[in-house]
Structure 1
Amino acid sequence: MLMAHPAVLNNLVEQYTTLELLHAEAGSPEVRERMAELARTLCVATGTGDVDTALVAARHRLPGARPEDDSLLTH
């Protein structure tokens, strides 16, 4: 499987989490579509099937990630 460059993953994670923090899922149709597009892209880039798993996988691939830290998996 091809792996996305860490800079690309970081950008996707930052965009998605920013929209999530702003509760974009309750926003305009355009903003909701952007959030859905980011979720799909994260899933493809990480080879996962849902955005929560994709976020965990992406964060584990970023520089400085600690492979033994699976605390995100409990949420």
Structure 2
Amino acid sequence: MPAHGQVAQSSALFLRIEPDSRAAGMGNAGVATADNANTIFWNPSGLAFQQDTQVGVTHANWLPEFNANLFYEYL
């Protein structure tokens, strides 16, 4: 009889939403390319290499298929 393990489900799925579309589009490679305003999310040590002042704003409709008016916003 095969054994079946239980896979844990996270209750904080919003933590898996990336605030940077560039890094998310590259397969979450934000740690290696942290050179913009969202570097604080991926690699805080990248702040030492910031040249200019930048602001990053993300607004996403979270779980739109449920029509629950949930939004993810990151500043």
State the structure with more CA Rg: 2
> Comparing both chains, which one has the higher relative contact order based on Cα–Cα distances under 8 Å and sequence gaps of 6 or more?
1
Q: Which structure: greater strand fraction?
A: 2
Verify same fold: TM over 0.5.
no
TM-score (norm 1): 0.23
Q: Which structure: greater helix fraction?
A: 1
